[in-house]
Copies of this chain bind each other. A is one copy, B any other.
């Protein structure tokens, strides 16, 4: 006894079994179509399921098997093409392998807290892909030690990680700008949150290093939040003094308003004003922005593949680091 019908008289595997005149085990077997079931029996069960409108209860399945076929994907944001591309490429691999992704964008403080409080969500999935934020710091105490985890754009002592050599990307951007006979500016993002990614800084460092090697230096670095509004302002400030200069933005996203302002002020972008972004976001292709291309899709694909191997217990034990190289793409700016 002791049971209230919460689930609105849902039909269970038991009802199906009775209806088809078989045991529940058999129903379960056709459900998972593993082990051999007699074709005629299977047919009977199948039509019983249809007849009764049976839908399996995922919670029960998960409790019983201990797996959910779900993967949590944590990103610091989901705005912008970068994450679109990344998530789509992760998803593609996941779906192909029978998993679904559970997206968890940490777009504000509240989401951080919510994640820590109801870490249930994580624990109910089979694996975890974390982009940009530090697992060790953010979730070190929450994630079970043997949960399969892959880090993206973030190093980890304990887990596999996929990184892009952002420092190297900065270097090639610097090499490209060093020969230009103009002032050199940088517009970059200052990380606002302890747990945010350090990629922008790495790009900046590489850029700086490359210029130094060639006996040049950055004339000024502008730090902005990751929005266009502030970047417009910065651009106006720059162009009101300099009608001729080279600007490196540590992401294409920040290059867009700069180019917009330059054009509005009728400066010749690509000639007097040179702009090099980073990432090769779709917008960079559309606006023909010169940029450092990051292999975003590859990152997602590799991350998902490694994670699935880990979930299936096929991965090697030692912590692995995959480092992908960016490349310079010269366009019109």
Contact = CB atoms under 8 A, between A and B. Distances in A.
Interface of A: 6-8, 10, 55-60, 62-63, 65-70, 78-81, 84, 88, 91-92, 95, 100, 102-105, 107-108, 110-111, 114, 118-121, 123-124, 144, 146, 227-229, 232, 257, 260, 263-264, 266, 282-283, 286
A123 B286 contact: no
The 8 closest A-B pairs by CB, nearest first: A6-B66, A59-B62, A59-B63, A103-B103, A58-B120, A58-B124, A8-B146, A95-B114
23 contacts: A6-B65, A8-B146, A10-B144, A55-B119, A55-B144, A56-B120, A58-B120, A60-B63, A63-B63, A78-B78, A79-B80, A79-B84, A88-B107, A88-B108, A91-B110, A95-B111, A102-B103, A103-B104, A227-B282, A229-B286, A232-B286, A263-B264, A266-B266
Contacts of A266: 266
B79 A81 contact: yes
What is the count of identical protomers in the complex?
Answer: 2
Contacts of A81: 79
Contacts of A114: 95, 100
A78 B104 CA distance: 12
A27 to B, nearest CB: 17
A331 B197 CA distance: 36
Contacts of A56: 120
A229 B110 CA distance: 35
Contacts of A105: 103
A83 to B, nearest CB: 9
Contacts of A119: 55
Nearest to A260: B260
Nearest to A88: B107
Contacts of A232: 286
Contacts of A283: 228
A81 B78 CA distance: 10
Given A84-B78, A92-B110, A107-B84, A67 B118 contact: no
Contacts of A59: 59, 62-63, 68, 124
Contact of A63 (B10, B57, B108, B144): B57
A57 to B, nearest CB: 7
